[in-house]
Structure 1
Amino acid sequence: MAERIISSTTHDAYMNVTDHIADGWVASVRIVPKGASKGGERIELDTVFEREDLAWESVETLARAELNNLK
């Protein structure tokens, strides 16, 4: 499982994309306050993506939107 992180001034977004056996790619993100452990609620996208790059693009868009809402 790969993980990428993007940050705002107050929060971090931990993004994951995993291969869902034979179905495609599943993406999720966790938004946590800066400095906190990456526990917390995971937001999983409802879509199973055919390509990994599309999953990353979608989860990054969601993460950036969530971070912008927290400003």
Structure 2
Amino acid sequence: HLALCSPGDVSQLWMLVLVNCGGQPFSVVQVQHIFTPVAISHTLALAATLDAQGYSVNDIIHILMAEGGQA
């Protein structure tokens, strides 16, 4: 599961976070200073494609971080 976190108490940045089935944060895969819907949409589509192609969670994390760790 990917969760989009808006700026607030935890961080002053937008963060796209991979969470486990229990809802606990697992890995931050993207950080943005300003909300950029196109970048978020691209990351979500890429994650869905990689998952459908059978990539492991670890591989998906590394690919997403390489794609857009900070924008």
User: For this structure pair, what is the TM-score category when the shorter chain's length is used for normalisation?
Assistant: 0.3 to 0.5
Relative contact order: is structure 1 or structure 2 higher (C-alpha 8 Å, sep ≥ 6)? 1
TM-score normalised according to structure 2 size: 0.45
TM-score normalised according to structure 1 size: 0.45
Whichever structure has more helix as a proportion of its residues is 2
